[in-house]
Amino acid sequence: MQLKTALLSTAVLAALAGLTAYAVRSDDAVLTAAAARAGDNAHTGGAQTPAVATSAQATPSAAAETRHAAALRALIDTASRPGARQAWASHSQEQADRTAAAERARGLLATVGAREVNLARNDGFNARDVMIDRDGTEHVRMERSYEGLPVIGGDMVVHSRDGQLLSVTQGDNMRTLSRPELKPVVSAAQARTEAGARFDGRVAELDPAKLVVYARNGMQPTLAYQVDLRGDRSNDQTPGVFSYFVDARNGRVLEAEDHVEAAAAQGTGKSLFLGNIGIVTDSSGNAYALTDPSRGGGQTLDAQNYEFTFLGKAFSDTDNVWGNSATTDRASAAVDAHYGVAATWDYYKIVHGRNGIKNDGKGVKSYVHYGQDYFNAAWDGTNMIYGDGDATNGNFPLVALDVAGHEMTHGVTGATAKLGYYNIKDSGGLNESVSDIFGTLVEFSVGNASDAGDFLIGENLHYRPVNGSTQEQPLRVMFQQNLDSTWRTGGKTSFKCYPAGGFTAADTAQKGKYDPHLTSGVANLAFYLMSQGSVVPQNFPGVSVGDLSCNGDTGVAGFGRAKAGAIWYRALTKYFVSSTDYPGARAGTLQAAADLYGANSTEYQTVARAWSAVSVN
């Protein structure tokens, strides 16, 4: 197959060329290599240079290409200590577990780190991810097991250099030497029955029950069954993808882990949101398909308004000009989704050196036109799904740029820290905020005047919270939570200040008092303060500097989006674990700032001050 492109590829390649030159001047070998690999990936085998669509209607301006390249460059942090920059990272769990770094980490856990991790006889450790900095510091993300059974909540990151243990990042779940008796009282069949009965909807797939050790939400390690389920929820088009953990002693459901992480902050060639933009496509014979060979073969499909994806239909076109900038052509929404995935891929690769969601070079499938009157977009653990909206936004598809960046980031989080979502203290809000943060940075990375970067989530979705209202509202406002749209949240805005004791697990269910879309506000404001400081954006006359703080601190000086993105990415991939709470997020971002700029740096002090401003101390 010959790769066919419109001008997005031209813009990205131009950006890469500029970044490569910059990297050489900065002696940044890692960035140079990443840019070169990205450039190589824009060609197939020994194929000729990609052809460019010549339709004047589909051709973005040279100025737009230049803005795109400049916006990407602006988000690369060049001020951090060179030794703290990443030199190598594993591309799969299998590769990670075979590395010498993983063996060294296991040796440290068995000796000098044994007390810190409460090592018990028959505990085991398998590496899921290995990252090595230029100065030789090794960060090994480990999954714990006991007697060969996975320990849910026992994950950790081992940090070492020159064979010496520096620290271990872990949650509070395994602060004990106790281990459960591994003789179940309840049968596997009964556990499957309990899981199926707990699901509110029609069960489509129910996997066999498998024994695990459950250690989350403050529980002592407990023998449990894990039952994975897929189905159709009642009165909700969002796909049901759950893991149920059933106590093997009495059949009680300990946790229902919801794997679908929806935008609810929802939200390119003739696009709905970005004007005429270029997209990378693939051709076979005389037709083109919305498949991107330059980004792992990612594909955009039409879900045909079903509430499932297995009947997804490939988009096809004969002239490689897609959509009509209106919803009357189903391909218009697909253009935005396809471009959004590409922009998110490029942001992570060029800015952070990450090659796809799992860092394995593999693309993802995106399904547009999902469900009927579905005002949402989501990452379901495997795919991206986008609804067509409902009456509150004129049935306008939720394929905005920050939505794509938000949802793909849920995938990055799932491949790294695996932050819990519903029914786990704090971590769901932190998970949601991480997606808001990087969705925002993706929006800034494109530099498109039709959807300029800002700190609003879902601001272009045509959402009108009251029928008949002509005023459109964003779903979340990262710098002032009181401005959030509240119609879909029962009148509730997201939280700005962290409460004493944190957000309790019992109230963090979907649409609960501490739903993750509400508790995300704490980290959103902290990130804004780190990046921009105590400054109210233009065109928000009703917001004062005092509104940006919970402790009266109105003098935070931000250090910019590039540094803020570098700190949060390092914290997510190297210091957050599945049960990280907000105090743990403070500690993780402070450690990331110390790694990158020094423990006595202005950046470190700014991170600390921003967290204190939202009452995370």
> Residues with catalytic annotation?
407, 517
| Paired tokens of 165 | 């243990």
The contacts of residue 604 (CB under 8 Å, 6+ apart) are 590, 593, 594, 597, 598
Residue 496 to residue 485: CA distance in whole angstroms: 14
- Burial bucket for residue 61 (CB in 10 Å: 0-12, 13-18, 19+): exposed
The contacts of residue 360 (CB under 8 Å, 6+ apart) are 91, 92
Looking at the DSSP bridge assignments, the partners of residue 289 are: 282, 316
What is the sign of the dihedral through the CA atoms of 143, 148, 151 and 152? Answer: positive
The contacts of residue 287 (CB under 8 Å, 6+ apart) are 316, 317, 318
| Paired tokens of 53 | 């669509």
The residue type at 182: L
* Phi and psi angles of residue 530, each rounded to the nearest 5 degrees, phi first: -60, -45
Are 418 and 281 spatial neighbours (Cβ–Cβ below 8 Å)? no
Q: What is the full DSSP assignment across 115-145?
A: TTTT--TTEEEEEEEEEEETTS-EEEEEEEE
| Paired tokens of 337 | 């989704």
Are 532 and 480 spatial neighbours (Cβ–Cβ below 8 Å)? no
Angle at 342 between CA 341 and CA 345, to 5 degrees: 85
Distances (CA, A) of 512 to 219, 254, 525, 562: 22, 18, 21, 34
The residue type at 444: F
Distances (CA, A) of 59 to 49, 277, 348: 18, 7, 25
H helical segments located in 199-279: none
| Paired tokens of 552 | 């009266």
Angle at 230 between CA 225 and CA 232, to 5 degrees: 135
Looking at the DSSP bridge assignments, the partners of residue 368 are: 302
Buried b vs exposed e over 273-296: b needs ≥16 C-beta within 10 Å? bbbbbbbbbbbeeeebbbbbbbbb
Question: Do strands 156-161 and 164-170 pair parallel, antiparallel, or not at all (unpaired)?
Answer: antiparallel
Residue 149 to residue 120: CA distance in whole angstroms: 14
